[in-house]
Amino acid sequence: MIIKIATAILIILSIVLVAQSSWVTELRTGEGLEASELFQQSLPFLLSLSFVLLVVQSILTVIPLALILIFNYILLGFWFAYAWSLGTSIVASLLSFYLYRYWLQHVFQQKVRKNWVQAIEQNGFWVVLTSRLVPVMPSSLINVAAGSSRITVKTFLFATFIGNSLYLMALFLLMEGLIAGGAEWFLLIGVVLLLGTIAVKKKWTKRMKSGVNEQ
């Protein structure tokens, strides 16, 4: 138990150090991002940095996901950035899931609301899927709750893949419309996202309540 607590402390300290680094500060401010020294680094280094940031974000949300996606978009363009972000976000979520389930479960289990865990155990696929589609909670909390529950890895992975693929596509389409100056795309996607968010959130809330009531 002491080793696990020490590991948790080391992970948190590492995340804090990454979050306070000059490169992450540049990413957070977003000012002159394309011309910054960060983008003068080699492509393998930048891809590695992107992956590390996504892993950090999936374990403890200290870096907004949108900033990492903008970073990937500027670095790789629309389709390559989407594919890279989708793949790395799934791997990062899986790493976080395994970390919480098999190593740090007892450390963080008391921090997770029991109704979240109960809802995931009752309706695992739908709860994870709707949580990915509608940002009702940070992705790190989704991973903690799933890792603390009895949901299977296969179900978690499948729901994460579908949810992330749709959610990231919507975000990248928004970025494409904003950066390319396509206001009509921005308005259309905004309306679709708003309606989709309302519908999915209602379904998510209903399943959360049904999962708790069945207990």
Distances (CA, A) of 59 to 99, 130, 172, 188, 189: 9, 19, 23, 33, 29
Q: If we measure between CA atoms, which residue out of 207, 211, 208, 14 comes closest to residue 99?
A: 14
pLDDT for residue 24: 52
Per-residue pLDDT at 76? 87
Confidence of residue 99 (pLDDT cuts 50, 70, 90): confident
- Check residue 182 and report its DSSP letter: -
pLDDT at 136 over 80: no
Query: Residue 15 pLDDT more than 50?
Result: no
String of DSSP letters for 148-162: HS---HHHHHHHHHH
Neighbours of 207 (CB within 10 A): 16
Judge whether 123 and 207 are in contact, CB under 8 Å.
Answer: yes
Q: What is the pTM of this model?
A: 0.67
Give me the sign of the Cα torsion angle 100, 211, 165, 25: negative
Q: How far is the C-alpha of 175 from the C-alpha of 179, rounded, in Å?
A: 6
Mean pLDDT (whole number) for 135-149: 81
What mean pLDDT comes out for the span 45-71?
Answer: 84
C-alpha to C-alpha distance for 190 and 174, rounded to whole angstroms? 8
* pLDDT of amino acid 4: 45
Q: What is the mean pLDDT of the chain?
A: 72
- The whole-number pLDDT of residue 3 equals 47
